[in-house]
Amino acid sequence: MGTSTNNNDSSNDIPCSYIPVPDSLDAAGAMAEPRRQVKGLLVILCGLLVLFLLVAFNGSYRGSNNAHEQASLAAALTSIVDEKSTSSETVPSSSTWSRGVSAGVSEKSNWLFSSNNGEMYPWNNSMLSWQRTAFHFQPEKNWMNDPNGPLYYKGWYHFFYQYNPNAAVWGDIVWGHAISRDLIHWQHLPLAMVADQWYDKNGVWTGSATILPNGKIIMLYTGSTNESVQVQNLAYPADPSDPLLIDWVKYPSNPVLFPPPGIGATDFRDPTTAWLTSEGKWRITIGSKLNKTGIALVYDTLDFKTYEQIEGFLRAVPTTGMWECVDFFPVSKEVENGLNTSVNGAGVKHVMKVSLDDDRHDYYSIGSYDEKNVKFIPDDVDNDVGVGLRYDYGVFYASKTFFDDSKRRRVLWGWIGESDAEYADVAKGWASLQGIPRTVTLDTKTGSNLIQWPVEEVESLRLRSDEFKDLKAKPGSVVPIDVGTATQLDIVAEFEIEKEELEKATSESNVDYYSCESSGGAAHRGALGPFGLLVLADDGLSEYTPVYFYVIKGSDGNLKTSFCSDQSRSSVASDVVKKTFGSLVPVLEGEKFSVRILVDHSIVESFAQGGRTTVTSRVYPTRAIYGAARLFFFNNATAASVTASLKVWQMNSAFIRPYNPDQTN
């Protein structure tokens, strides 16, 4: 596995997971001769100019708060971003070929840039090797997508996942399997289920686990048949006394469910974990669509072998399209504990999550579950299933929760795809990872959103830390945060805007909402933002990824805060997706602006206001890598000064390797 303690970065002592890729990319059959890149040269020149400015003003500027210096840096930052934001990427707008669709599911690989008119960046071995993460779950090689059937059993966390054993692109899907004692360090086990039956010949697709009160494990999954019909199948451990659950048996009378009348043969997939009805039956839901209306079909069963379809839908929402990977679970209104999936009652709200095939985002809705009428009723129709709140406003899809009985918590897994070109993934030999598992609870302060937070076990990877108190950034300035190499970090930061400026700020005319997607990213300046951190930045600021807050005073006089991540300057390479994304985040009376950021090579996971809004980015820098990666605090507001206090930990690598019976942890 790629988590050896081989460190290519001489400037620090953190073990990394770099896997060498073939020296000759041509030999890997993946990349052609790069085109000459005028834009790249321009960026290099700008970078040199910034470097020159830095050296001219002060040979050693670290930690300085000199206003002149900061203004120069900020000017460079703004002009570079402005220049970049006007340039256009050479991206093919559509593809005539789709691997997924031909197999009965939507496209899953990132085929962007794979056609001839895409501009290819001359990636080299060390750039590509750097992208492999150090403490996120990844298979040793090849393609991975959705989390499947996560569960806790006899002292082990089990993680199954959609896996292509043959290539770094979607296809030939089987179930990979890994085990862990702590959700952080993993051991790879043999494939749990392969496509060896007519009813899953075209793929062993997504499914969920149910643990019965007697401890028995039930696995339901979608099979894509030899004729690409989506059916539901039952599987169970061959030997329940084996805590590693290595062997799985497929029920001999599979499939247990076919698409019902009126439902398309390729619109019937991803069964949920089952929950108990008050009548003692088990109930599941399965995603589908009717024309453009996303729907969740419901079935009751006593034995998981025969099912009764319940009339109507758990929920149906027009215009949302196919619902993949539906998840349905209770959260407590009273305690922080997670709840078993079957819990219902007065102290409980229900969460319904769908993965929208049409836009590849995971949407959730909070509401109540009317057991008698078999309906989910959202608290707020503006935040109905598939139209309002999202788990994550960046790259995060096909997620699934499970109830971890050992720690009485609900844990969320999410598939984090790539934002680079498929040919680069083929050259690396791997694609996709899983986000750090997150605990999910109801935000009892707002009552209207969930709180997601990295599982506490990730803190066991924290190494040395640096603390910075009350750093001040004047309007339009950048302050270096000296933590040394900044490729594996856990950052906790708080920001405060000058009180006076907050009070003085006037309503921005006709603006009630700052959209991260369409407001020009971190280069666009307002009175009260943007401000935040530049992660994966190089010293010359030729590459950086701003994770930031943007505050506006709405026409009603109230402050509204957006939390965003801007990829437009994350890499000088042109063949990666460079969107800006994010959303509003509630900041309550008396709260500071706060963020936690996990940086792990090509992934940046950010949690604002204790986890009310989260944004995950994939970034592919070419210069801000290894020992050259740095961290900065920036304030690009026009009026307000911002104060920041931070604690930054260097993060160790997780130990993710093939199963070894001698290693029990």
Catalytic residues: 146
State in angstroms the smallest separation of the CB of 103 from ligand DQQ. 9
Binding to ligand DQQ in span 180-239, by CB under 6 A? 205-206, 222
325 contacts ligand DQQ (rule: CB under 6 A): yes
**Toward ligand DQQ, which CB reaches closer, 355 or 545?**
355
**Toward ligand DQQ, which CB reaches closer, 40 or 176?**
176
145 contacts ligand DQQ (rule: CB under 6 A): yes
**Toward ligand DQQ, which CB reaches closer, 3 or 164?**
164
**Toward ligand DQQ, which CB reaches closer, 397 or 632?**
397
State in angstroms the smallest separation of the CB of 398 from ligand DQQ. 4
Q: Give me the sheet containing 230-237, strands edge to edge.
A: 204-211, 217-224, 230-237, 248-250
Contact at 8 Å (CB) between 398 and 146? Answer: yes
327 contacts ligand DQQ (rule: CB under 6 A): no
**Toward ligand DQQ, which CB reaches closer, 50 or 105?**
105
269 contacts ligand DQQ (rule: CB under 6 A): yes
Instruction: Number of residues interacting with ligand DQQ: please give it, by CB under 6 A.
Output: 15
Mapped onto helix, strand or coil, the DSSP state of residue 582 is strand
Taking CB under 6 A as the criterion, the residue among 76, 173, 573, 577 binding ligand DQQ is 173
State in angstroms the smallest separation of the CB of 437 from ligand DQQ. 18
Amino acid at 555: S
State in angstroms the smallest separation of the CB of 234 from ligand DQQ. 16
270 contacts ligand DQQ (rule: CB under 6 A): yes
Binding to ligand DQQ in span 391-420, by CB under 6 A? 398
Q: Which two tokens stand for residue 75?
A: 């000017």
Contact at 8 Å (CB) between 575 and 30? Answer: no
The interface mask with ligand DQQ, positions 99-128, x = CB under 6 A, is ------x--x--------------------
344 contacts ligand DQQ (rule: CB under 6 A): no
| Dmax (CA) of the chain | 77
Amino acid at 440: V
Measured N-to-C along each axis, helices 67-86 and 38-57 cross at an angle, to the nearest 10 degrees, of 180
Give the Cα separation of 344 and 331 in Å (integer): 9
β-bridge mates for residue 598, sequence order: 490, 605
State in angstroms the smallest separation of the CB of 25 from ligand DQQ. 28
Enumerate the H helices of 394-538 as residue ranges.
422-428, 499-504
Give the Cα separation of 231 and 219 in Å (integer): 14
Contact at 8 Å (CB) between 158 and 177? Answer: yes
**Toward ligand DQQ, which CB reaches closer, 270 or 418?**
270
Taking CB under 6 A as the criterion, the residue among 9, 172, 200, 324 binding ligand DQQ is 324
Pairing of strands 630-635, 559-566: unpaired
Long-range contacts (CB closer than 8 Å, 24 or more residues apart) made by 343-348: 344/369, 344/371
State in angstroms the smallest separation of the CB of 324 from ligand DQQ. 4
Q: Which two tokens stand for residue 83?
A: 């220049």
Could you identify the residue written with the tokens 């998981």? 304
**Site for ligand DQQ, rule CB under 6 A:** 105, 108, 145-146, 162, 173, 205-206, 222, 269-270, 324-325, 355, 398
